[in-house]
């Protein structure tokens, strides 16, 4: 082996070390440069320094200095001026976004002054003052079992109890909270809502009289308030649903034939008008005394103000102080029945009519009901003591429709006349003649009377003089639906309107200031079966199976409120505060719409009852 042979060994380069960390571009230490104290010399020095920089360096200086020169002028203004500037924001979303700018802006945007102005601008009426008493009254009412279960489930899922803000008492009124709830309700009306329950009733067997099988399942009447939805059917039953959950609470049975009218009397309230003599004897069993308010102390008589409180389009009336909700019903068995909603038992069965009770109303804050019958008479009943007060004859044909306001009643009959009555005396004040055929609908606000009938016309009457103020035309068939917005006494509201619906499918809105049509709406392909409006929305239903939503001010179509069916019998919405329906107090608007919509229709051969809520989802149980 050659010892001189050369051995080559591989040599590897050492690893390249990591680069040393450079200076932090965001960390600047001040350069120890002493500048002159003279402001003029300092400016000259800075000017010469800037002139010596390159364009890229000048751009760097500009981007560095610009944030230092920004100034929050809103935060620097006095609070009063800052709120005045923010008050010019007329879009609620922009005002909400402004709260994200800074903590100072968030504090200012939370001021009640801004949200009060926003409520007035959009038309959300204030409920200040009544809010606390309303909540206290609600807290004293027991919840039905489904509500108790849902409330317990909601509380069990909650990680911590919801506490009111420290700066406000638990029941204090907040314009921000009021605006948030009203705005959410308005958006739900426009874009959605929550279906609480949909009840489908199995068809009833064909009756022995040869009528069609489904004729007994027809829904004839509905009443609604903030607690209950009451539905009367042609099969003699009355269903009561919770307006908060949509659950069927109970069924009232006792009528021997179809129910044609129901009215709901809300609990609470106070007595207005004449009282019966305290020593007057009655035969009411003692067990019903608390339910009917017979144990309440007799207070000073409060006179009925002119023109009085008009009837609700939801067929609900304010109570006279009784603790329970009551239902008053009438129908083909000729009897008027008074029911206790809480127990489901009938309190009174009142006889007197000799034919079908076709229409009925209950006065606000008084236990007085007025009924109209096919026997051509009207009768006045005391539903607290269970007796008939008086009969009011005069019509020569069936009494088809009825409306009340204060202590006055207006009836429409197949004899082509309307009559204005004094309920307390039974006196016929005026006989309104002018229609040529049967009258099917009337509306009364205490100042004006509107009537529509088979002659396709609508007439407006002065309730004080009995004179015809206007003859309104536009329909080509029976006018079967009417609703008036209320007029102020002796000074009609300039925004007062009349909305009419006919068998031709048209809905026409008339101005009551000059009696001209504001909107002519081709609402449905067949007869308009139901119609109701408030200061913001107009809801119509027809035999074409559609339920449609319109803007009342513009007549613009908004959307379909429910799935199409074969026909729609009744639609009713409400359940909100009285301010939501009180045009006289808030003619420019209200709280975005009522809370609950009840839709009664025929779909798939079955009677369907839908209960919808437009409340925000965090308020469905309240």
pLDDT at site 316: 93
pLDDT in tens, 139-163: 444 444 444 545 565 555 554 444 3
- How far out from the chain centre does Cα 617 lie? 15
How far apart CA 567 and CA 546 sit, in angstroms, is 7
pLDDT at site 67: 80
pLDDT at site 307: 79
- Taking only Cα atoms into account, the Rg of the chain, rounded to an integer number of angstroms, comes to 35
pLDDT at site 23: 53
Please name the residues in contact with 435: beta carbons below 8 A apart, sequence gap of 6 or more. 416, 417, 418, 451, 453, 455, 457, 459
3-state secondary structure of 338: strand
Q: Which two tokens stand for residue 89?
A: 């924001």
Question: Which of 42-46, 324-328, 588-592, 616-620 comes out lowest in average pLDDT?
Answer: 588-592
DSSP annotation of 15 reads P
Q: Which of 115, 202, 257, 119 is nearest to 579 (CA)?
A: 119
3-state secondary structure of 114: helix
How far apart CA 418 and CA 428 sit, in angstroms, is 10
pLDDT at site 494: 53
Lateral strand order in the sheet of 547-551: 528-533, 537-542, 547-551, 557-560
Residue with tokens 């197949």: 414
| Greatest mean pLDDT range, 116-130, 492-506, 547-561 | 547-561
Q: Which of 342, 259, 262, 271 is nearest to 304 (CA)?
A: 271
Of 185 and 131, which is predicted with more confidence?
A: 185
Residue with tokens 């800074």: 102
User: Is the predicted pLDDT of residue 404 greater than 90, yes or no?
Assistant: yes
Per cent of the chain over pLDDT 70 is 79
How far apart CA 255 and CA 339 sit, in angstroms, is 11
pLDDT at site 103: 87
User: Is the predicted pLDDT of residue 559 greater than 60, yes or no?
Assistant: yes
Maximum alpha-carbon separation in the chain: 148
**Which residues face 372 on adjacent strands?**
359, 378
**Which residues face 417 on adjacent strands?**
433
Peptide bond into 65 cis (omega under 30): no
The answer to whether 459 and 468 have CB atoms below 8 angstroms apart is yes
3-state secondary structure of 466: coil
Residue with tokens 């609703």: 483
pLDDT band at 376 (very low <50, low <70, confident <90, very high): very high
φ, ψ dihedrals at 101, nearest 5° = -70, -50
pLDDT in tens, 602-621: 998 899 999 999 888 766 54
The answer to whether 241 and 197 have CB atoms below 8 angstroms apart is yes
Q: In the predicted model, what is the mean pLDDT of residues 407-424? A: 95
- Residue 217: count other Cβ atoms within 10 Å of its Cβ: 19
pLDDT at site 212: 58
**Which residues face 224 on adjacent strands?**
229
The answer to whether 456 and 465 have CB atoms below 8 angstroms apart is no
Of 92 and 262, which is predicted with more confidence?
A: 262
Helix axis angle for 112-122 and 175-191, nearest 10°, is 40
pLDDT band at 568 (very low <50, low <70, confident <90, very high): very high
The answer to whether 347 and 292 have CB atoms below 8 angstroms apart is yes
How far apart CA 512 and CA 587 sit, in angstroms, is 14
Please name the residues in contact with 469: beta carbons below 8 A apart, sequence gap of 6 or more. 448, 460, 461, 462, 515
pLDDT at site 489: 45
How far apart CA 488 and CA 307 sit, in angstroms, is 8
User: Is the predicted pLDDT of residue 53 greater than 50, yes or no?
Assistant: yes
pLDDT in tens, 464-473: 999 999 999 9
Residues 340-374 as b or e (16 or more Cβ within 10 Å = b): bbbebebbbebebbeebbbbbbbbbbbbbbbbbbb
pLDDT band at 11 (very low <50, low <70, confident <90, very high): low
Q: Which two tokens stand for residue 229?
A: 């939805």
Q: In the predicted model, what is the mean pLDDT of residues 6-30? A: 59
Of 266 and 4, which is predicted with more confidence?
A: 266
How far apart CA 539 and CA 520 sit, in angstroms, is 15
User: Is the predicted pLDDT of residue 590 greater than 90, yes or no?
Assistant: no
pLDDT at site 14: 65
pLDDT at site 587: 34
Lateral strand order in the sheet of 517-522: 479-484, 497-502, 506-511, 517-522
**pTM of the full predicted structure?**
0.79
φ, ψ dihedrals at 398, nearest 5° = -60, 135
Q: In the predicted model, what is the mean pLDDT of residues 434-457? A: 95
How far apart CA 201 and CA 203 sit, in angstroms, is 6
Helix axis angle for 79-86 and 112-122, nearest 10°, is 20
Written as one string, the DSSP assignment of 531-584 is EEE-SSEEEEEETTS-EEEEETTT--EEEE-S---SEEEEEEEE-S-GGGT-TT
Q: Which two tokens stand for residue 575?
A: 């359940």
User: Is the predicted pLDDT of residue 488 greater than 90, yes or no?
Assistant: no
């Amino acid at each position: 082996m050659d010892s001189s042979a050369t051995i080559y060994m591989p040599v590897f380069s050492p690893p390249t070390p990591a680069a040393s960390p450079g200076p932090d571009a965001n960390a600047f230490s001040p350069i120890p440069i002493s500048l002159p104290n003279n402001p003029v010399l300092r400016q000259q020095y800075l000017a010469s320094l800037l002139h010596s920089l390159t364009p890229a360096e000048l751009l760097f200086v500009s981007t560095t200095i610009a944030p230092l020169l920004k100034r929050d002028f809103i935060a620097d203004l006095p609070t009063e001026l800052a709120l005045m500037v923010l008050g010019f924001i007329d879009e609620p979303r922009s005002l909400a976004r402004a709260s994200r700018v800074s903590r100072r802006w968030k504090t200012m945007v939370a001021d009640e002054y801004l949200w009060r102005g926003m409520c007035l601008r959009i038309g959300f009426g204030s409920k200040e003052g009544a809010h606390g008493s309303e909540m206290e009254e609600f807290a004293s009412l027991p919840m039905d079992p489904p509500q108790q279960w849902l409330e317990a489930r909601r509380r069990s899922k909650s990680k911590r109890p919801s506490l009111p803000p420290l700066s406000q008492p638990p029941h204090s009124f907040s314009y921000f909270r009021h605006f948030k709830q009203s705005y959410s309700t308005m958006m739900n009306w426009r874009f959605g809502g929550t279906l609480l329950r949909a009840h489908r009733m199995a068809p009833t067997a064909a009756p022995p009289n040869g009528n069609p099988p489904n004729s007994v399942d027809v829904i004839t009447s509905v009443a609604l308030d903030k607690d209950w939805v009451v539905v009367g059917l042609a099969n003699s039953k009355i269903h009561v649903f919770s307006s908060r959950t949509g659950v069927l609470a109970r069924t009232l049975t006792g009528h021997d034939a179809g129910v044609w009218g129901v009215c709901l009397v809300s609990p609470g309230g106070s007595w207005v008008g004449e009282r019966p003599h305290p020593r007057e004897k009655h035969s009411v069993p003692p067990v019903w005394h608390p339910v009917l308010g017979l144990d309440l102390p007799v207070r000073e008589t409060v006179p009925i103000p002119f023109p009085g409180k008009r009837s609700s389009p939801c067929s609900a009336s304010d109570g006279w102080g009784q603790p329970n909700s009551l239902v008053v019903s009438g129908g083909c068995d000729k009897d008027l029945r008074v029911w206790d909603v809480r127990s489901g038992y009938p309190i009174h069965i009142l006889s007197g009519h000799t034919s079908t009770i076709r229409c009925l109303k209950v006065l606000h804050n008084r236990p007085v009901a007025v009924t109209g019958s096919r026997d051509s008479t009207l009768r006045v009943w005391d539903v607290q003591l269970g007796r008939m007060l008086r009969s009011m004859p005069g019509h020569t044909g069936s009494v088809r429709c009825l409306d009340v306001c204060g202590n006055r009643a207006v009836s429409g009959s197949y004899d082509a006349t309307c009559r204005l009555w004094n309920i307390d005396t039974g006196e016929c004040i005026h006989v309104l003649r002018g229609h040529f055929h049967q009258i099917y609908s009337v509306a009364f606000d205490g100042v004006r009377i509107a009537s529509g009938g088979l002659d396709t016309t609508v007439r407006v009457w002065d309730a004080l003089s009995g004179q015809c103020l206007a003859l309104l035309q536009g329909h080509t068939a029976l006018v079967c639906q009417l609703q008036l917005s209320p007029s102020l006494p002796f000074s009609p509201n300039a925004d007062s309107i009349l909305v009419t619906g006919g068998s031709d499918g048209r809905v026409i809105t008339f101005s009551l200031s000059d009696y001209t049509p504001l909107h002519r709406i081709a609402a449905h392909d067949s007869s308009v079966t139901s119609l109701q409006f408030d200061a913001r929305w107009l809801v119509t239903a027809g035999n074409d199976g559609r339920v449609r939503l319109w803007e009342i001010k513009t007549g613009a179509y908004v959307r379909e409120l429910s799935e199409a069916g074969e026909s729609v019998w009744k639609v009713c919405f409400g359940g909100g505060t009285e301010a939501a329906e009180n045009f006289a107090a808030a003619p420019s608007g209200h709280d975005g719409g009522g809370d609950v919509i009840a839709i009664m229709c025929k779909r798939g051969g079955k009677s369907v009852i839908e209960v919808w809520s437009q409340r925000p989802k965090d308020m469905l149980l309240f």
